[in-house]
């Protein structure tokens, strides 16, 4: 009798597991089928069909393109993370020679500002969402660069409040929350504020002009909070480094010990 009860229970468990498996598959198909309602149906890089919700605005092939693959393995400038092809990672003084004036301690990015990463960052400016593929890439960057970027708190680069009102959200804060979750760190979303709206960087501005245009742009809302802390400053993209440098300088002036930088992507041309 007991044996037959066990068999009956075993059979019910199997049916229940089968039901859950089929339901999960159906939900996955349904979700991927609904992808086009949330995301563009075609890859914003190559035009191919996107068939997985997790891939966001780029197709699976574009996500594995060698041009955007993670920068962690290449020889990088020890300070600013600029790829230095032809150099050797073990060189003790591996520096690009361009970032000496930038105020942050170390900067790293998940990949190059091109292809799927560029398309995802453009999409992020109008949609407050990071696809799962990108969240995994950020988590990998945090895992692999965690020791180099060791920090007490994650701080997003703020938008000026007028710009944030227009946009409805701060894209850097969305990235910062993913970074913080991966690194199990707190986020101080309103610690740094943008005191003046800075003009968008125009082509033709040299490094000094760019630095001047963002000088004094930031303020620390609670200076006592940053004394002797290590801060991980987060933004979507590292372009020239001048905005990140100005934000880092403001935090250092308020008493921070170190300011590391992590961005989704980095412009890799040697034009700081």
Entry field: residues in the chain: 272
Nearer to Zn ion, 136 or 177 (CB): 136
Nearer to Zn ion, 52 or 129 (CB): 52
CA-wise closest residue to 155 among 216, 220, 210: 220
3-class secondary structure, 19: helix
Output the smallest distance, CB 42 to Zn ion, in A: 8
Nearer to Zn ion, 99 or 172 (CB): 99
Residues 29-48 that bind Zn ion (CB under 5 A): 43, 45-46, 48
Choose the stretch contacting Zn ion; rule: CB under 5 A; options: 11-19, 25-33, 58-66, 218-226: 58-66
The site map against Zn ion for 87-116 (x = CB under 5 A) is: ---------x--x-----------------
Output the smallest distance, CB 94 to Zn ion, in A: 9
Residues 60-89 that bind Zn ion (CB under 5 A): 62, 77, 79-80, 82
Size of the residue set binding Zn ion (CB under 5 A): 12
Nearer to Zn ion, 87 or 129 (CB): 87
Element counts in the chain: helices (H) and strands (E): 9, 6
Output the smallest distance, CB 132 to Zn ion, in A: 17
User: What are the DSSP calls for 206-271, one per residue?
Assistant: -HHHHHHHHTT-EEES-HHHHTT-EEEEEEEEESSSHHHHHHHHHHHHTT-SEEEEEEEEE--SS-
Q: What are phi and psi of 96, to 5 degrees?
A: -80, -20
| 269 vs 239: CA distance, rounded Å | 9
| 249 vs 133: CA distance, rounded Å | 32
Output the smallest distance, CB 3 to Zn ion, in A: 57
The token pair at 202 is 């125009």
User: Which stretches of the chain bind Zn ion, using CB under 5 A?
Assistant: 43, 45-46, 48, 59, 62, 77, 79-80, 82, 96, 99
């Amino acid at each position: 009798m007991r044996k037959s009860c066990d068999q009956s229970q075993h059979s019910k468990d199997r049916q229940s597991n089968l039901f859950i498996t089929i339901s999960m598959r159906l939900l996955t198909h349904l979700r991927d089928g609904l992808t086009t309602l949330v995301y563009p149906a075609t890859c914003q890089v190559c035009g191919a069909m996107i068939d997985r919700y997790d891939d966001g605005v780029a197709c699976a092939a574009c996500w594995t393109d060698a041009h955007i693959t993670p920068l962690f393995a290449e020889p990088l400038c020890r300070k600013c993370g600029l790829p230095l092809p032809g150099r050797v990672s073990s060189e003790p003084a591996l520096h690009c020679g361009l970032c000496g004036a930038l105020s942050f301690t170390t900067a790293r990015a998940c990949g190059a500002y091109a292809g799927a990463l560029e398309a995802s960052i453009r999409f992020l400016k109008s949609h407050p969402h990071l696809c799962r593929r990108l969240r995994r890439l950020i988590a990998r960057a945090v895992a692999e660069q965690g020791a180099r970027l060791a920090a007490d708190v994650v701080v997003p680069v703020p938008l000026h409040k007028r710009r944030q009102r227009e946009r409805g959200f701060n894209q850097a804060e969305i990235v910062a929350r993913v970074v913080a979750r991966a690194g199990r760190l707190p986020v101080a979303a309103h610690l740094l504020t943008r005191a003046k709206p800075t003009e968008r960087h125009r082509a033709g501005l040299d490094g000094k002009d760019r630095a001047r245009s963002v000088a004094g742009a930031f303020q620390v809302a609670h200076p006592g909070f940053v004394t002797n802390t290590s801060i991980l400053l987060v933004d979507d993209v590292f372009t020239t480094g001048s905005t990140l440098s100005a934000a880092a300088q403001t935090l250092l002036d308020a008493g921070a010990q170190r300011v590391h930088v992590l961005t989704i992507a980095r412009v890799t041309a040697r034009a700081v």
